[in-house]
Amino acid sequence: MTPLKSGTIDLILLSALREQPRYGLELAQHIGTRSGGLFELSEGSLYPALLRLNRAGLIEGEWHPTPGGGSPRKVYRLTDQGATELTRRRDEWQRLQTAVNALLGGRLA
């Protein structure tokens, strides 16, 4: 497991919600699977990040009943503002990645 910084968690969550709305545990599982198990989000980092993104207007949460009659789940979706912010943050991440790769001996794209 690799720890993630706050801004990186936000970028990853926004990206996962671009694909489809998801509830908290589903987000954590999706990120763990997509990263090959490298990133595992604990509840202590996941839910504060979701709250932060919600307060910023980048995502919205809505309670949905669970199949089989269990407790309702809060399902999060990306807002239009969140989609715009995701594009901005992804572009910034890619510029940073290019610069770091150049410093490590890689080539600029």
The domain limits of the chain are 6-103
| Reported pTM | 0.85
Q: For residues 50 and 42, is the Cβ–Cβ distance under 8 A?
A: no
Task: Select from 51, 48, 61 the least CA-distant residue to 22.
Answer: 61
Name residue, tokens 């932060």. 52
Fold of 6-103: Arc Repressor Mutant, subunit A (1.10.10)
Q: How far is CA 98 from CA 81, 87, 101, in A?
A: 26, 17, 5
Q: Give 10-residue mean pLDDT values along the chain (109 residues).
A: 69 96 95 92 92 97 89 96 96 90 75
